Amino acid sequence: MNIARALRLFVLLLAAALLAGCGMFQRDTTEPPAPLPDFEAKIAPSTVWDRNTGSGTGRYYVHLEPMLHEDALYVTDADGQVTAVALEDGRPRWSTDLDVAVTGGVGGGEGIVAIGTAKGEAIALDMESGELLWRRQLSSEVMALSTVQQNRLIARTNDGRVHALDAGTGEPAWLAGRTTPALSLRGVSQPVMVPGRVVVGFDNGRVVVLGLSRGNALWETVLAMPSGRSELERMVDVDGHIEVRDGRVYAVAYQGRVAALSLSDGRTLWDREFSSYRGLAVSDDQIFITDAEDHVWALDREGGATLWQQDQLRLRRLTPPVVFGDHVVLGDYQGYLHWLDREDGSLVGRLQVDSSGVMARPIVHEDRLYVLGQGGRLAAVVPEGGRRGRWAATND
């Protein structure tokens, strides 16, 4: 090695050492999640049953939600194990291992259970037996699937397209879509079926209602417009749970607005600035939203005015909220379910259901809450007085 090369090597090593040394003294400015808050418990939630349904999401960042249909829940893990369990006691009815990387689901109804894969397939199983009915190759990674209506199953793919499929055969019925921005949030909102129409949120900050028979756009409303210099600042998305109730569409955008829209023509009935990628829940007179920093809000349903805000769960990676009786319930990254009083947002109860975390929106049915954890634990929960202990878990 000559002197010049040796000198260059010494300078490079010295620079690397100095940079590493500087890093040692830099403070980590990332804000940690809020610790579990103290509160006065007013209810004692407990599990009625819980069940292992597979590997959960594993090492993948995918948003998988169970589907409730009549007296059963249908669940998939990220490795393609699809399971049907009885609502009453959690006993498995069937389990099918498809051995595929699942990125969307569960959707279906009218006799089928549907999932979507990382390789762009929509797959349908028989709801009664779990037998394979059909597979259909779509344009890209399948991120969400709708319920079935008028023999139509709607699939949302990662390239911004909306595929309408014949639920019985998987044959394509129509294709629609919008341009996907250069940078968007991971995931999409589940298409929402209403009679003769489907409501879809897009990565460009728009809510669109399409006709179910032909896929024609009936109306389109902008909830977020890109602004700022960087791609991050300009990122907008309608990624969270959308609700349709009493002739209104309630939706919220990331770095945009929350709004009540007329289902018939898309008119904005009210709106206000907001940022969320979790979505919202609607009760008779309130709207509940988890914002982008995991503050929980209650808004007046008629005009959007703030009723209360709960910030004790900040950055705990909350699920979308659900309304459960007199409470609002949310899951978090450590697998806790948090019960909030609907009237003032105060914390009144807590229960851990899966230490791997909860990302999927809980499902409310009658007097129970059904929750799927990231580790694959599916639990039936009641506000208090469950038949089994708080930390109990079966090994089935």
Residue burial 277-304, b: 16+ Cβ < 10 Å; e: rest: bbbbbbeeebbbbbbbebbbbbbebeeb
Structural domain span for residue 137: 64-177
Residue 180: the pLDDT is 74
Residue 268: the pLDDT is 98
Is residue 96 situated within a structural domain?
yes
Q: How many distinct structural domains can be found in the chain?
A: 1
Is residue 274 situated within a structural domain?
no
Q: Measured between alpha carbons, how far is 155 from 164 in angstroms, rounded to an integer?
A: 7
Please state the three-class secondary structure of the chain as a single string.
CCHHHHHHHHHHHHHHHHHHHHHHHCCCCCCCCCCCCCCCCCCCCEEEEEEECCCCCCCCCCCCCCEEECCEEEEECCCCEEEEEECCCCCEEEEEECCCCEEEEEEEECCEEEEEECCCEEEEEECCCCCEEEEEECCCCEEEECECECCEEEEEECCCEEEEEECCCCCEEEEEECCCCCCCCCCCCCCEEECCEEEEECCCCEEEEEECCCCCEEEEEECCCCCCCCCCCCCCECCCECEEECCEEEEECECEEEEEEECCCCCEEEEEEECCCCEEEECCCEEEEECCCCCEEEEECCCCCEEEEECCCCCCCCCCCEEECCEEEEECCCCEEEEEECCCCCEEEEEECCCCCCCCCCEEECCEEEEECCCCEEEEEECCCCCCCCCCCCCC
Q: What is the CATH number of the domain that holds 115?
A: 2.40.128.630
Is residue 259 situated within a structural domain?
no
Residue 181: the pLDDT is 65
Is residue 89 situated within a structural domain?
yes
Q: Which amino acid is at 218?
A: L
Is residue 165 situated within a structural domain?
yes
Spell out the per-residue pLDDT of the chain, length 396, in tens: 444 444 444 444 444 444 444 443 445 568 999 999 999 999 999 999 999 999 998 777 788 999 999 999 999 999 999 999 999 999 999 999 999 999 998 999 999 999 999 999 999 999 999 999 999 999 999 999 999 999 999 999 999 999 999 999 999 999 998 877 666 667 789 999 999 999 999 988 999 999 999 999 999 999 988 777 776 766 777 889 999 999 999 999 999 999 999 999 999 999 999 999 999 999 999 999 999 999 999 999 999 999 999 999 999 999 999 999 999 999 999 999 999 999 999 999 999 999 999 999 999 999 999 999 999 999 999 998 554 333 333 333
Q: What is the pTM of this model?
A: 0.88
Strand order through the sheet with 67-69 = 67-69, 72-76, 81-86, 92-97
Q: Measured between alpha carbons, how far is 379 from 388 in angstroms, rounded to an integer?
A: 11
Is residue 163 situated within a structural domain?
yes
Is residue 113 situated within a structural domain?
yes
Residue 178: the pLDDT is 81
Is residue 168 situated within a structural domain?
yes
Residue 71: the pLDDT is 96
Residue 58: the pLDDT is 72
